[in-house]
Amino acid sequence: MLALLLALLLFPLPTATAASFRMDEPIYHDGDEFVYEGYTAELLNRLRAAWEDEGDLLSVAVTASEELTVGHLGSEGCSILGWSGNCDRARISHSVNVTITWVENTTAFTNDTLNMSIVHTADHWKAQGTHRYEKLASVTNTETSFSGGGEDNVLEHELRETTETERVGDWPDVVEVGSSWDVEMTETSNVTERTRENKGPWTESWRDEVSTQQVAYRALNLTTVHYGVANEKSHDTIIIRRDHLGDNLTFL
């Protein structure tokens, strides 16, 4: 999710040649909104792959969903890791309800079925005038309900995470196909997790995490992005590959 948001906030703007791009900050206004169609499908593909590895999965059916939406809330003063200044603020929301069914008589659930609800909300702050600082405060609530053994059960999980990020390195002013650069990224996180069963007392845990790793960027090729209510608008851009060397993760 964060990768999508970063791609939005660092959206390159084309120069007159359309073969190179300035790494400028786009101008957003309070109330601007972006909806990422297809995010729910991709999330379910990842979950489905994990569930298939665990047993005889039959189907995953979406019963309700709200696509990942980023709404811009204008600018405000903020502090991130000791830095203070003006930040662009955005709010992220996403939700999906699914019914998961396994092969008959392969689980302890009634009808080999359970229902799951996932609701994610987050506020994102990005320092104006620099790529160096950003902050993400998110809440993810998951509720799983199923019947078995003659009783109904509800399991709840709440994850609250605040992550402040600092990037140290030189960002290019102009990017062309083949351009590459590296930055050092440090993430400082505070995480709170809560769980409970059948509306009983919450069990809560806390942890602090700090990680530092190198992130390598490389401009791959030119492309056109279509957007608007009916994809009637287009924008030339460049695909940038981002490799997190510490986590061995790659994003486009």
pLDDT tens for each residue of 79-104: 999 899 999 999 999 999 999 998 88
Q: What is the pTM of this model?
A: 0.84
| pLDDT attached to residue 18 | 52
Percent of the chain, pLDDT > 70?
A: 90
Please give the Cα distance from 128 to 148 (Å, whole number). Answer: 53
Number of domains composing the chain:
1
**Structural domain for 198, as ranges:** 2-251
DSSP-assigned states of every residue in 24-78:
PPPP--TT-EEEETTHHHHHHHHHHHHHHHHS-EEEEEEEEEEEEEEEEEEEEEE
pLDDT score recorded for residue 9: 44
In angstroms, the CA 246 to CA 165 distance is: 15
Is residue 221's pLDDT more than 90? no
pLDDT digits (tens, 9 = 90+) for 166-206: 999 988 888 888 889 999 999 999 999 999 999 999 999 99
Q: Please give the radius of gyration of the chain, using alpha carbons only, rounded to the nearest integer.
A: 21
Q: Check residue 5 and give its pLDDT.
A: 42
pLDDT tens per residue, range 96-140 = 999 999 888 888 888 889 999 999 999 999 999 888 999 999 999
Q: What is the pLDDT of residue 2?
A: 44
Tell me: pLDDT of 213 over 50.
yes
| Higher per-residue confidence, 245 vs 188 | 188
pLDDT bin (cut points 50, 70, 90) of residue 19 is low
More confident site: 21 or 154: 154
What was the pLDDT predicted at 68? Answer: 93
205 Cβ contact partners less than 8 Å away, ≥ 6 residues apart: 192, 193, 194
What is the average per-residue pLDDT within 1-13? 43
Is residue 152 over pLDDT 80?
yes
